[in-house]
Structures are given as structure tokens and as C-alpha cells.
Structure 1
Amino acid sequence: MLLPAEANKCCTVCSNALLQTKTQSSPKQRRRRTRHNGGAVAPLTLDRFARSTLDMLTLTEAITTKGAAFRSLAEPWADTTTPHGKMIVTVLAGVAEFERSLIRQRTSEGRKRAMSQGVRFGRPPALTPTQEAEAAKLATAKGNKYAAEIMSVSVSTIERVRTRYRSESR
């Protein structure tokens, strides 16, 4: 339920369409977010307001430096009109950033472990080694396009295979 702006003591109640954020938002969107001096900007939800912790802190700082307050309608704890609200927003933003860095670190360690165990990342090869050898011979004899049609792969794949086989034979 969306309450009227007067009931929330806000100048602006931001809809989700207004707050589709990008790191590089247009000047018009930035003005809409921060134009009201002495009022409050109230997004419906925080997840639509900012993509990252840094983005949220930057936007709330921009709002408060313009003389407006930040108050989320869905999350009552996100209210920069009080010192407690400012502290909670900052602490939770820091915790979220810390959690994100832990996830990044764990993901990196998992990838390194998988690579050391021989796991191959990316798309599976289009041709087996036996098929590659046959495709290289066929392309040498009849041309890349013909070999690509017979092997049901792209001409680029045949060119890569031929290049690899040329370098191996030297």
C-alpha cells in the first residue's frame, strides 16, 4: 500500500519505474531523485533504489547533501531523518559489502580448486580430437567450407582446427 506523500511528510514518493538505476544514470533521473530541498525522497523498496551498497550510499549522501531526507516506505529502518536510521543504513551497507567480498573470495577459491583438479571451463569443444584430425585432412583436400558442411560446424571452427594442426606439425 502506498501512502500519500503528505502522510509520510515527503515531497516525493518515487515509483519503481523512476528508480530503475544504472551506475551512469541520466542527469534528469539524478535531478528527480534529489531535487527537493528540505523534503524526503521515499522509494518504495531499496532493491529498486540502488544496485550496490556503494550506489546506495552515494545516492543517500547526494540526497542528504541536497537537504532532503531518505526514507524507504517498505523498510522502516532505512530512514536517514534520524541519527539511528543513518547508522543502521551505513552499518547494513558495510555488512552487505563484506558479505559480497566473502562470496567473491569463496567463488575464486572454488574456481582455483576446480582448475587444479582438471575441470575445464567454458563451452565443450565442437569436435573430438579424432574429428579434428579428420576435419583438418578434409579441409586441406577440399577446402574449409566443404569440411565445415561435412562436419556440421562453422568455417571458423575449421580454420581454428587447421591453424592448430599446422602449428603442431612444425
Structure 2
Amino acid sequence: MKIWNLFIAVLIAFAFNPDFLLAKNAPTPAIAQCRITCTVSSVVEWSDTYFEDIDLELNNKTKTSEGQASLTLYTNGDVVLTADNSKSSELSSGSISLQTEYQLHFDGSGIDQTGAKPTDWCAFDTFLKEPVEIIHNPADGAVLVTLSVKASVDEINKNNTGEYYAIQTLTACWKS
């Protein structure tokens, strides 16, 4: 009678849960996992390594000359710009130097677009002594940075004619 009771219990269990008997004999499921990571990169990069060359000309009629070049700065946060204030950023030829000044303009003001207020004209050795802060706008991840240079000479004579060279380096880094 006990066997019949067991048999009836198994039939009832099978009637309510047909997988009861099958589950015991089923193989264990095969599991595969995948680890997923996502890195949100910090972006501070120029559209190119170099600004276009700026060519200026001074003569007896034009003792001051200005020029400019632009590059796009891509960023996904607030950054600061600093400049090279060394002698290499002063227009010079041997031991003779020209009065060299720099200025920056931006296509955004930092309010509705990524950018900053334009800087004042400054001599090469004081240009961006205080770094300029570029404010990032989340809807705008780029700012057009225009570097302007002004060369001046008080008097042109045979002693100061020739080619003068300078290299200005702008460095963008995260605002701390």
C-alpha cells in the first residue's frame, strides 16, 4: 500500500508540475558572462598641432603689422590656456628684436557657447601671465581660438632689416 501511496503522490506531483520528473534528468544550463566597461574620456585637444603660419611685413609706411591664425580646441570640460612667455615668442633676428604683442579671440563667450572673453593686447613676455579660462557649454564641445600677433618697430633702417622669427605655444589643460 505504501508503494501505491508513493505512486499516487508522484502522479499528483507530475500532474501539477510536469517538469518535476524531467528537471531531475535535465542537464545544467550553460552560462556565459560578459564584463562590460565604459570609459568617458577627458577631451582637451586641438584640431591640428600647428596654427597656420602668420606672415607680417613692416616697411617705411607700415611700422606696425598685425596677423592672425585660428585653430579649433575640442573639450568636454572647463580648461585654461597658457602661453609661452620666453624669448622664443618674441620676433627676433639675431640680437635685434621687434616689439611683439599677442591677443586671443574666441567664437564663443562661455555663456551660450564654449569660449571666453577676448584678451587684451599684451607684450610677448606678459601674454597670458594669468591663464585664460575657457568655459565649456555641454551643448557645444568646441571653441575656435584665434591667435593674433602684432609686430612694431619705431624706425626702420639698414641695421634692423631682415627676417624675424618667433614661435608662440598655447597650452590647454584642465581647470583645477
The alignment's TM-score, normalised by the length of structure 2, stands at 0.23
Which structure is higher in strand share? Answer: 2
Which structure is higher in helix share? Answer: 1
The higher radius of gyration belongs to 2
Structure ranking higher on relative contact order (CA contacts 8 Å, 6+ apart): 2
The alignment's TM-score, normalised by the length of structure 1, stands at 0.23
